[in-house]
Amino acid sequence: MPDSSVDAIAPLLTAEGWELLNSLGPYLDSEAMNLNIELRKAGHPPELVAAVLSQARLRMRARSKFGPFADNMLFTQAGLEQATRLNIAARHAQRFVSAGLENIADLGCGIGADSMALATLDCQVTAVEIDETTAAVATMNLMPWRSVSVVNADAAEVDLDGFDGVWLDPARRTTTSSGTNRIFDPEGFSPPLSFVERLADTGKAVGVKLGPGIPHESIPAGCEAQWVSSNGEVAEAALWFNALAREGVRRSALVLYADGAAELSSGVDYHPGAEDVEVGVAGKYLYEPDGAVIRAGLVADLSRQIGGRLMNDQIAYITADTLEDTPFARAYKVKEVLPYNVKQLRAWVKANDVGTLEIKKRGTSVTPEELRKQLLSGKPKSATSRATLVLTRIGEDRVAIVVETIAG
């Protein structure tokens, strides 16, 4: 069923549908068929049962972004995929509040995550969504907040007079009968990035959420770009204009983790290949930078911060002779550096009784899954040791670095 179909949501907007949905316990795929049969036997219409089970499944998936709040929300598949994680939405909202902005237009509000966060901080919010079904979902999700109104309209056609801040989350996916597909061209977004730039040119405080893969050359001049990761997963790149941009910050990496957050920033544009960074051989420790640091082009900055060097100036692995505590990278102890040779690596696996092998790689076309099968083929059942190999380059030489994860 297409994600935008009214039929997927309409049955849930009735008293019977809403009550039935909220009466279900945690969704389990293994129990879905039996539950389907049970609900139909109880006399519920097939279209309602299908809608309820689909929504229960989406609610379970949504817990990774919304925690327990997901159990009282409605979702569409595309809306959930693009929705802002609640901990990141809170950061967006705080930036508007810190700038003294109170009357916010949320253009392309989707299922309403950012509007929820803004309303929680007492902002007056007008949430605008062009898709009728998604607007209905947002209306349900935002009902607890009286300071929010939902408008079913084209974001590009909204009169923004009277708003002191604008947040945009352009649609970056297309929905088909087989699922959703990402759009990578910023001018293919709805609304496009050029619309955001024209809006910012008026002097209005503007923030926009984009996919983390946006090229640096596509980022407009005069804004602040912030890449955000949450628990190790890069979630977005946000661009901030005018009153929402911080002075002296051109790009940054915000790393959110269970116990807090940390940020690394730079005041200049990123120019690949022109970074001032030391390059050398592998030291005692290897650092794997967080994805937000890599996307923001801050690997060289992190390397200097921890007194490290790169083994290849085109590859985002840092090495150092001392262990530094940093929230911006995962640290490993280097145990051995081996040449990349499948025959020699298979012999190494056998000699070290390796039964479980993790393979990481950057700067090489090797497929880890295929290499793992090659290296572990013929291993004895008694092999129980665990090992991690990092495939990369030191200069132009391909190597396999044996590492040990350092806790924390």
**For 309-323, how does the pLDDT look when each residue is reduced to its tens digit (9 = 90+)?**
999 999 999 999 999
**Mean of pLDDT values over 144-170:** 95
Task: Compute the Cα dihedral for 235, 138, 166, 93 and give only its sign.
Answer: negative
pLDDT score at 2: 39
pLDDT tier, 277 (very low <50, low <70, confident <90, very high otherwise): confident
pLDDT score at 181: 75
pLDDT tier, 3 (very low <50, low <70, confident <90, very high otherwise): very low
pLDDT score at 370: 95
Would you tell me how many other CB atoms lie within 10 Å of the CB of residue 56? 20
SS3 track for the chain: CCCCCHHHCHHHHCHHHHHHHHHCCCCCHHHHHHHHHHHHHCCCCHHHHHHHHHHHHHHHHHHHHHHHHHHHCCCCHHHHHHCCCHHHHHHHHHHHHHCCCCEEEEECCCCCHHHHHHHHCCCEEEEEECCHHHHHHHHHHHCCCCCEEEEECCHHHCCCCCCCEEEECCECEEEECCEEEECCCHHHCECCHHHHHHHHHCCCEEEEEECCCCCHHHCCCCEEEEEEEECCEEEEEEEEEHHHCCCCCCEEEEEEECCEEEEEEECCCCCCCCCCCCECCCCCEEEEECHHHHHCCCHHHHHHHCCCEECCCCCCCEEECCCCCCCCEEEEEEEEEEECCHHHHHHHHHHCCEEEEEEEECCCCCCHHHHHHHHHCCCCCCCCEEEEEEEEEECCEEEEEEEEECCC
As a whole-number percent, the residues of the chain with pLDDT over 70 amount to 96
Going by C-alpha positions, the residue among 336, 321, 306, 318 that lies closest to residue 279 is: 318
pLDDT score at 5: 52
- What predicted TM-score, i.e. pTM, was given to this entire model? 0.90
Q: Is there a contact between 209 and 226 (Cβ–Cβ < 8 Å)?
A: no
**Mean of pLDDT values over 87-95:** 97
Cα 281 to its chain centre, rounded Å, is 33
